[in-house]
Amino acid sequence: MKRVAERILCCSLILFTSGCYSIGSYKLGKDQDQYASSMIEASKRQTLSNLVRLRYADTPGFLDTTQLISGYQLQRSGFLGVASDTFPIRPNGGIAAQLQESPTFTFQPVTGDAYAHNFLRPLPPASLLPLAMGGLPIDVLLRLSVQSIDLFSNNRPFSRNAGDIDAEVDAHSADFFSLLHDLRLLQAAGLLNIQLQQASGTNGKEIENSRVFMSISSTTDPNLAAIAEKTKKQLNFSPKSERMEVVYGVGAPSPGQIKMLTRSMLSILGQIAYQIQIPDDEVSSGNTRKSVDVAGNNGAKPLMNVHSGHKQPDNAFVSILYDHYYYWIDRGDFESKLAFTITQMLLELSKTTLNPGAVVTIPVNK
C-alpha cells in the first residue's frame, strides 16, 4: 500500500510542475492560412468600399496592415493526491488548461507624400506592361490603366460634359478598343512580346528609369498574320525596327515609340466607380448621380459589374454595406472578378516604401 501511495504522489508532482509552453510551431501553418485569408478579404472590402465611396462623392481612405504579431501560450496544471483519513485510500485530483492568444495588428494610414505617390501619380508603363508578360489579359489591363495609346483614346461618356470644347471631337475610341482586341489575340497566340530593360539606378528608382519595349513576332497563320500587320500599322511600327519603345505621353508618337498615357490609381478607381449601378431612390434623393451607361460606347461593356440591394448577398465574391445598401460582386461573374483582381494588383503595384505617417497599433484581447 505504501508503494502505491508513493507512485500516486510522484504522478501528482509531475503534473503539478508542468509549466506553460509555447504552441506557436503547432499553430503556425493553420494561423498563417487564416490570417492571410483574412487580410486578403479585408483588402478586397476596402477596395470595394472606396469604389462605392467615390460613386457617392465620398472621401476614400486607405489603411495598410504593416505588422501582425500573434502570441500563444498554453497553461496547464494538475494535481493528484490521496485522502489519508479514509479507508480504503481514495485518490482525488483535477486538471486544468487554458489557451491564451494575444494578437496585435499595426496599421498605417496612407497620407501625405505616400498618398500622392501611391494614388495621384500615373503608373509608369515600365510597371504596367510587364504584368502582361505574367499572363494578365492585356486588354483588361490597358482598359483599366491607360487613358490613351498614341492618338487612340479610352475616353468614357462621363469624361465629357455637354458644352465642353471637345465634346464633339472624335477621340478614335473605336480604334482604341479594336487595338486592345487585336493585342489580346496576339498575346493569346504568343506573338506579343514585352521586354523590360532595367536601369542600374539605386534608391528604389529602377522602375522609374527602366525602359519597356513591345514587339510582334511573325507567323505563318494567315489570320494572325493579318492581325499582326494591322496592329503594327496602327502603332506605326517602323519597317527598320523589330521593336518599339513604350513611353509615357499623349499625342502623335516619335519614330520608334508608342506613347501611352497611363492613369493614376485614383483615376482607375474613379473610372470604375462611375459605372456602378445605384438604386433609383439614391439618385432621386440626391445622394449621387445616375449611373453612366457605357453600352453605347462602341459596344464596350463595363469591366466590373457591382450589384446593390437591401438584402445581404448569398454568393458574393466581395461585399460591403454602405448607406443602408449592400454592394457586391457576384462570385459567378468571372469577368468582374478578373477586373477586380487586376485592380487589386495595380493597387499593390502603386504602393511606395515612403513613410505614410501615423502608426495605429491595436492589441486584440480575447
pLDDT digits (tens, 9 = 90+) for 100-111: 666 776 767 776
Which of 63, 65, 48 has the alpha carbon at shortest distance from 321? Answer: 48
Q: How far apart are CA 305 and CA 285, in angstroms?
A: 23
Mean pLDDT computed over 211-220: 93
Res. 173 pLDDT band, cuts 50 70 90: confident
Distance of CA 132 to the CA centre of its chain: 16
pLDDT at 251: 85
CA distances, 285 to each of 70, 111, 149, 174, 278 (Å): 46, 32, 39, 35, 12
- Report how far residue 108's alpha carbon sits from residue 266's, in angstroms, rounded to the nearest whole number: 19
The predicted-structure confidence for 45-75, as pLDDT tens digits, reads as follows: 999 999 999 999 898 877 776 666 666 655 6
Tell me the chain's radius of gyration from C-alpha atoms.
30
Buried b (16+ CB within 10 A) or exposed e, 134-146: eebbbbbbbbbbb
What predicted TM-score, i.e. pTM, was given to this entire model? 0.75
Tell me: the pLDDT tens digits for 121-143? 899 999 899 999 888 999 999 99
Mean pLDDT of 269-292: 85
The predicted pLDDT at position 318 comes to 95
Highest mean pLDDT among 126-135, 162-171, 291-300: 126-135
pLDDT surpassing 80 at residue 192: yes
Question: pLDDT of 77-100, one tens digit each?
Answer: 665 565 555 556 666 666 666 666
- Extents of the domains making up the chain: 2-42+63-106, 146-263
Answer for the pair 236, 150: CB distance below 8 angstroms, yes or no: yes
Residue 173 CB partners (closer than 8 Å, separation 6+): 152, 153, 154, 155, 297, 298
Q: 184-188, 239-243, 278-282, 324-328: lowest mean pLDDT where?
A: 239-243
Predicted confidence band of residue 19 (pLDDT cuts 50, 70, 90): very low
Of the candidates 354, 318, 349, the residue with the CA atom closest to the CA atom of residue 333 = 318
- Reference 195, options 182, 211, 180; nearest CA is 211
- 21: β partners: 74
Q: How many CA within 13 A on the CB side of residue 322?
A: 25
